[in-house]
Structure 1
Amino acid sequence: MSGQGFHVHGPHDHAVEHAAHGSDGFSNNIAVMTAILATVGAAFGYLGGATQNDAAMFKNNAAIDKTEAANRWNYYQAKNARQNLAEVVMTLPGVDPKRYEADAARYKHDKEDIKKEAEKFEESAKEWNHKSDEAMHKHHQWALATTAEQIAISLAAITLLTRKKWMMGLAYGVAGVGLVLGALAWFGGH
């Protein structure tokens, strides 16, 4: 941060800023690599957040459909109780069974349609849950890719401070792992 000539920043920011204004090729390479990794990591983080939001939305849709299925099953049970009552009343002495046959038949017919609707909502809830599980799996892949890029950025900072070339190789290697994990998330690998 700067304001009227007063600068406050961390050692990594300081090293990156000086590398950008200097002629040190090693430091310049690390500075560019850090900027690229930060950009890639930010993109991976965004995609991870988006897939997590999708998973939550899909899980919500599953809950809505499961509730609707439960409502339909309750309605089915109410129709079943009415059908049973009509059938019992038909057997009572002094009651005209023809009067209740139509009611019993109607309740039986209504139950078939209600059962189909309840099963449709149950199946839809299963599909939404499956989509949610897939989105969470993809979210975890993006999170791993993001974490690898963040670790690579940290290794780049250590490289800049220690000036160890082997550390730069390690930072590139971890960044490469992050890119592979990101590619797997992008293309849907498991």
Structure 2
Amino acid sequence: MSEGGFHVHGPHDHAVEHAAHGNDPFASRIAVLTAVLATVGAGFGYMGGATQNDAAMFKNDAAIRKTAASNQWNYYQAKSNKQNLAELAMSLPGADRDRYAAEVQRYKNEKEDIRKDAEKLEAESREFDEKAAHVIHEHHRWALAGTVEQIAISLSAITLLTRRRWLQLASYGAAAVGILLGASAWLHLF
């Protein structure tokens, strides 16, 4: 009730109150169905949100690895430039060829380690991207299951108000489809 003692009921409140307080087995069954579907739908919604968060974390990890790989490739390029300068210095008249040859070899060795690190980081980035794609697909399955359960809840509410048997069967059917979709998401069937 409102503070002023005046309360306006929604258009369906009166019918729902009578259904809830009466001895109508039809209304009781629909009310229980609605409560069960809301609980199942909440579980599906939680799983959908959890998988969406996991996908975002995997994408973030992929981006971090990709940036680190890019940094390693830039470092590799810097070593290549220094190697090229050392090779050029070897050809200058009066240059200490042995010193510059040692530098060229050092840069070659350093570049090999840097290349391996960059390739490893790129592979890790690809793995995280693949995990993200898999988990976002899983998220879509959970979201679909939750949506179908919401449709079943809506149908059961309409069934309660209209008392139509075909709507009751439609709500049961939608509920069953939603539960099957949720089960297939849980079991990773598609």
Q: Is 2:74 aligned against 1:79?
A: no
- Uncovered stretches (5+) of structure 1, i.e. residues with no partner: none
The separation in 2 between residues aligned to 1:26 and 1:181, in whole angstroms, is 27
Give the match for residue 61 of structure 1. 61
Structure 1 residues 9 and 108 mapped into 2: Cα distance closer, same or farther (>3 Å)? farther
Q: CA deviation at 1:130?
A: 0.7
Deviations 1:89-141 (A, max 9, x none): 11122212101111111110000000010001100100111111111101100
| Conserved? CA contact 1:12–1:157, under 8 Å | no
Q: CA deviation at 1:7?
A: 5.5
The separation in 2 between residues aligned to 1:14 and 1:102, in whole angstroms, is 92
Give the match for residue 34 of structure 1. 34
Give the match for residue 89 of structure 1. 89
Give the match for residue 181 of structure 1. 181
Equivalent residues in 2 for 1:88-127, closer than 5 Å: 88-127=88-127
Give the match for residue 164 of structure 1. 164
Structure 1 residues 40 and 187 mapped into 2: Cα distance closer, same or farther (>3 Å)? same
Cα RMSD of the aligned pairs, angstroms, is 1.6
| Conserved? CA contact 1:16–1:31, under 8 Å | no
The separation in 2 between residues aligned to 1:96 and 1:58, in whole angstroms, is 51
Amino acid at match of 1:30: I
Q: CA deviation at 1:18?
A: 3.0
Give the match for residue 49 of structure 1. 49
- Uncovered stretches (5+) of structure 2, i.e. residues with no partner: none
Structure 1 residues 186 and 159 mapped into 2: Cα distance closer, same or farther (>3 Å)? same
Structure 1 residues 153 and 29 mapped into 2: Cα distance closer, same or farther (>3 Å)? same
- Tell me the secondary structure at the aligned position of residue 95 of structure 1: coil
- Tell me the secondary structure at the aligned position of residue 113 of structure 1: helix
Deviations 1:25-63 (A, max 9, x none): 101000000010011111111110111011111100100
Amino acid at match of 2:115: K
Give the match for residue 134 of structure 1. 134
In the comparison of the two structures, how many residue pairs are matched?
189
| Conserved? CA contact 1:69–1:119, under 8 Å | yes
Q: CA deviation at 1:8?
A: 5.4
| Conserved? CA contact 1:155–1:170, under 8 Å | yes
Amino acid at match of 2:36: I
Structure 1 residues 12 and 136 mapped into 2: Cα distance closer, same or farther (>3 Å)? farther
Q: When the two structures are superposed, what TM-score results if normalisation uses the length of structure 1? A: 0.93
Deviations 1:140-186 (A, max 9, x none): 00110010000001100111111011110110001111001101111
Deviations 1:46-89 (A, max 9, x none): 11011101111110010000000000000000011111111111
Structure 1 residues 12 and 126 mapped into 2: Cα distance closer, same or farther (>3 Å)? farther
Equivalent residues in 2 for 1:146-157, closer than 5 Å: 146-157=146-157
Percent identity, aligned pairs only, is: 64
Q: When the two structures are superposed, what TM-score results if normalisation uses the length of structure 2? A: 0.93
The separation in 2 between residues aligned to 1:37 and 1:183, in whole angstroms, is 14
